[in-house]
Amino acid sequence: MFKVLADPTRLRLLSLIASVPEGEVCACDLTEPVVRSQPTVSHHLSVLVKAGLIRREQRGKWAWFQISPAESEFVRFVLGSEPPSARRPGSQEG
């Protein structure tokens, strides 16, 4: 999975998907923040789906993405938030 996330665009896409308050985001809303074309963004999203980091749901002509529940702790760790089970006793969240 680290090899998949070595690409800055994929890491940015994962961060964007993880940060949406609604818990999911339309692919149509991801091209502008990463300054990439729609086909390029689709390719990177496909790689993240194949790695199991995100899930894809087709709704009409739009694809919606969310963090895979099975990998949510790993994603939090990669993005800089330690999983709850790994926090040291007495450490403060920040």
pLDDT on residue 75: 92
pLDDT tens digits, 20-43: 999 999 999 999 999 999 999 999
What Cα–Cα distance (Å) separates residue 6 from each residue in 15, 19, 27, 35, 76? 13, 19, 21, 18, 16
Q: Which neighbouring-strand residues pair with 64?
A: 26, 57
Is the confidence at residue 85, as pLDDT, over 70? no
pLDDT on residue 1: 82
pLDDT tens digits, 49-62: 999 999 999 999 99
- Whole-angstrom Cα Rg for the chain: 14
pTM for this model (two decimals): 0.82
Domains of the chain: 2-72 (1.10.10.10)
